[in-house]
Amino acid sequence: MNNVMKNTVEYNNKAILELQAAMKKTKNIRMYKRYSVVLKHFQGFQNKVIAEMEGLEEHAVGSYIKKYKVNGLEGLAMKKPSGAPRKLSPEQEQELIYVITNNTPDEVGFEAIKTGQLS
C-alpha cells in the first residue's frame, strides 16, 4: 500500500472497521489495548492524548501505529518473549516434579533439618 493511500479517508475508514472487528473478536486484553490505541489514532486523536487515555508511554503509542501501518493487524501481534533457554528437557522436568512430590528430602539425599518439635 503506497503512502498516498495510507492518508486517505477511505484507508482510515477501512482501518477503523478492521480494528473494531478485531477488538470485538479478541479475548486478549493486551491485544485489545493495542487495537484501541490504533483505532483512536484513526479517529483523529493525537498520540499524546492517546497515551494519557490508555495509560501508556507516547513512544509505545507511536510504535503500535507504525507497526499497524506497515504490517496491518499482524504487525500488532505480540511476539513470543525472549528469555534464557530452558535448562531441563520436558522429560527432566516431569521427573523432577515426580521426585519432589513423591519423596521427602532425606529420601533423595538432602539432610533433613528440623526446626522445631511436633506435638
pLDDT value at residue 4? 54
Q: Specify the pTM.
A: 0.63
Residue 57 has pLDDT above 60, yes or no: yes
Could you give the CA distance from residue 43 to residue 99 in angstroms, rounded to a whole number? 57
Could you give the CA distance from residue 118 to residue 115 in angstroms, rounded to a whole number? 10
Could you give the CA distance from residue 40 to residue 43 in angstroms, rounded to a whole number? 5
Q: Count CA within 13 A, CB hemisphere, residue 101.
A: 6
Q: pLDDT band at residue 119, thresholds of 50, 70 and 90?
A: low
Residue 1 has pLDDT above 60, yes or no: no
User: What distances in angstroms separate CA 52 from CA 57, 66, 77, 96, one per listed residue?
Assistant: 8, 18, 22, 47
Lookup result for grid cell 492517546: 50
pLDDT value at residue 7? 61
DSSP-derived secondary structure letter, 55: T
Dump pLDDT digits (tens) for 72-116: 999 999 888 778 888 999 999 999 999 999 988 888 888 877 776
Dump pLDDT digits (tens) for 11-50: 889 999 999 999 999 999 999 999 999 999 999 999 999 9
Q: Is the dihedral of CA 46, 52, 54, 60 positive or negative?
A: positive
pLDDT value at residue 85? 85
Residue 3 has pLDDT above 60, yes or no: no
Find all residues with CB under 8 Å of 99, minimum gap 6, and list them: 108
